[in-house]
Chains A and B, each alone.
Chain A
Amino acid sequence: EVQLVESGGGLVQPGGSLRLSCAASGFTFSSYEMNWVRQAPGKGLEWVSYISSSGSTIYYADSVKGRFTISRDNAKNSLYLQMNSLRAEDTAVYYCARTLPWRTYGMDVWGQGTTVTVSS
């Protein structure tokens, strides 16, 4: 079964850091591009970051550029999101999502999400 499982969410103070992980199984992780998408409470979906299958190409939303770092370990079938200088507006459920394997950039598999709360 194709599956993505996020972990690492929690409560953190403003200005703090957190590292999210996403464990992939049931498919050849190293062949797929991946994304992080977040959803603030009661709000819509917001794309956060993208990484190519090899990790050589990375993009970020303007709202997190310079504060968040996406990475992957294909040997461990894992995707990561290092979040620094966290703000209250980063409070959200964070999903990892697999990119469709052709260049139209939809997302066909999603994890269940992990909740990040930034509050003092």
Chain B
Amino acid sequence: SYVLTQPPSVSVAPGQTARITCGGNNIGSKSVHWYQQKPGQAPVLVVYDDSDRPSGIPERFSGSNSGNTATLTISRVEAGDEADYYCQVWDSSSDHSWVFGGGTKLTVL
């Protein structure tokens, strides 16, 4: 089965740039989606199809995907960005499964 690997935690100071990676075998050939989840709340889609933003998501959130790594970049980080972030792909090769990464806790220092 397909595996997505995320760092457990990332820390960044307010105003700086946070980069959260998602590793997977040839992930660059797949469409990657990113979700933000704050404590006690449902996940929210922040980036879809590698680099597109749903309406209402700030331009500070961006994504890229190439080779074996996809990256969610959050520019000018704010205290309100502190949350868990999950990457997700659809894997058609393993009996059609939706795969999530293990999640990354973003801490704003």
Contacts and interface: CB of A to CB of B under 8 A. Distances in A.
Given A44-B86, A45-B43, A95-B43, A106 B33 contact: yes
Nearest to B41: A112
A110 interface: yes
A110 B49 CA distance: 17
A87 to B, nearest CB: 20
B31 interface: yes
Interface residues of A, number: 22
Interface string B20-43: 000000000001010101000111
Interface in A26-83: 35, 37, 44-47, 50, 59, 61-62
Q: Is the interface of A mostly helix, strand, loop or mixed?
A: strand
A88 interface: no
Q: Is the interface of B mostly helix, strand, loop or mixed?
A: strand
B44 interface: yes
Interface of B: 31, 33, 35, 37, 41-45, 48-49, 54, 84, 86, 88, 90, 95-103
Given A50-B98, A100-B48, A107-B45, 18 more contacts: A35-B98, A37-B43, A37-B98, A44-B86, A44-B102, A45-B37, A45-B103, A47-B99, A59-B96, A62-B95, A95-B43, A104-B48, A104-B90, A105-B98, A106-B31, A106-B49, A106-B88, A113-B42
